[in-house]
Amino acid sequence: MTVDAEEPRPRSFTPQQLGFTPRGPVPWLSPGQLAVTALRVVLSSWFGAYLDKRELQQALPDTVFDEGADDGETWFDYVSDIGDGFDPTYTVAYLLAQPELTVAGAPPLPRGRVLVMGGDEVYPTPSNQQYEDRLKGPYKAALPVPPRGAPEPSLYALPGNHDWYDGLTAFIRLFAKSGKDSLGGRRNAQSRSYFAIALPQRWWLFAVDTQFGAYIDEPQLSYFRRAAERLGPGDTVIVCPPTPGWVEAENDPGAYDAIDYFVRTIIEPTGAQIRLMLSGDLHHYARYAGPDRQLVTCGGGGAYLYGTHGLPKDIPVPPPESLSRKTSPTKEYHLEATYPTRPDSKRYAAGVFFRMPRRNPSFLALTGLVHTLFMLGLVDIINHPVGVEQHLITVPVALVGLLILGSATAFAMPKVGPRRTEHWLFGIAHGIVHIGLGVLGAQAWAHLPFVHWRWPLPLIAAFIIYLPVSGFVAAEVVALYLLVASTAQVNFNELYAGQSIVDSKSFLRCHIGTDGALTIYPIAVDRVCRQWTVRPTDPADQPWLQPARPIAVKLAEPPIRVEKAPVP
């Protein structure tokens, strides 16, 4: 639906007034969410090829977009991993919508005429309602109508793995509008899930949809071949994949193959040079510098924080372990900056003991239930010798114990990449610790008076007393496991996903100057706003919700200057 400038502004912070429901952060360790996520991953792996709509996009317009190619300069913004909890998502959306940002160490930074969303525009799974509540609603509230006195900004979005869980159905409906619709005060410009943009000073941005596979579909390759016909020596290219394969290749050597193939077959034959690769997917800011280009990850648009202290200091790109028969020459890249810093990332990790139980109360209930059933079965064995027929309660102890061990082992397994010995060792050890905890709990409970009460009082006592206590203790054991296992890069993602950390967000404001250089300003927000004031009488192009106090912003590192390719 196209935004109507006369649409009334909300008068209260209610879904009826806003037109959407502000959502809290996704509880990633809740039983229901764990089950849904596991099911989505399995279905995507088994049936992804049948759901893949990239081949069908050949019927859609194959426009190569012009965003001021003939101008002397331009500003554009990049944000990724967006639609999770309302407070972090709207904080970033609000800052992106401001006409200008004032940041120490940088000149005034005007709003970009283009906004590129780099992937995972919604969490946990795509649907019309999820996009409405977690993305469209917050971004419309931040920029209700196009800014007055300025051209309508353009919006381009690249799908991430969470956008892909329905085969891109909802994503294409929302974004592939080719100028016929808008999201908030920005015009949806694209017509496919990938796009090429011509920028000033012979800069280009190529956003490649490489989700779920090492191969790029032929319609997409044909589109970029046609776009690349306009490139030549002296042109400079920004490549935007949905995942930072240069980092992920450390654990999955094939993660960079599709990007490398694209570079070798589409860009390099033209004589153009790639100076920047830009991605989201990992929810932090990190920059690697090498002899030929910058490799930047910026996934701080609203999703839970992902730690930086596990990043390698140096990476070879492409990785020597790649199974691809033909690759580009390997070059070394060094980690120059991260946000949050490595010490701050470690401090965030240590907060798992209080954040994880608080963010995932249903996870405590599940672990408490399993431990309670396990305890009841063990107590039944302890208090009733073999041959006694009358039992207070019968629970298949071996089955519950196997469930605990199997679940802990499966939890340690990576969703992508090879399963290493460390995954098996940590998973099995984690399960054994929970079984040992259950045995200790049963030994203690067996000597309490509750077990001798008349039925069903022992069962009631167990669920009222033992279940919440064991649930909390078991959750703390899981927290300790996540902290220890993360040192071996096992369940590193779950260590942070389980905490749903909303702070330390980031996005990029970029400037192509008249001298042809690209300057990147990595904007960082240490603490997102949590209190908003409804502004029903403000002008139509002003945000519906203003922060109760100013949002502090800073640079994650000093501005990065990227020189354009020399003109022969």
CA 471 to chain centre: 28
- How far is CA 236 from each of CA 112, 225, 289, 566, rounded to the nearest angstrom? 20, 16, 17, 9
pLDDT tens column, 350-406: 999 999 999 999 999 999 999 998 888 888 777 765 444 444 445 578 888 888 999
Contacts of 566 (CB under 8 A, 6+ apart): 234
CATH class of segment(s) 15-350+499-562: alpha beta
pLDDT at residue 458 tops 70: yes
pLDDT at residue 557 tops 60: yes
What does pTM read for this prediction?
Answer: 0.91
The secondary structure of residue 174, as a DSSP letter, is H
End-to-end CA distance of the chain: 47
Nearest to 165 by CA among 30, 39, 31, 258: 39
Both tokens of residue 478?
A: 């899981």
Q: What CA dihedral angle connects 279, 282, 287 and 292, to 10 degrees?
A: -40
* Size of the chain, expressed as the number of residues it contains: 568
CATH 3.60.21.10 residue spans of the chain: 15-350+499-562
Considering only residues 447 and 59, tell me which one the structure prediction assigns the higher pLDDT. Answer: 447
pLDDT at residue 180 tops 80: no
CB-CB contact of 333 with 269 (8 Å): no
pLDDT tens column, 15-60: 999 999 999 998 888 888 777 766 766 666 565 555 566 667 777 8
CA 169 to chain centre: 19
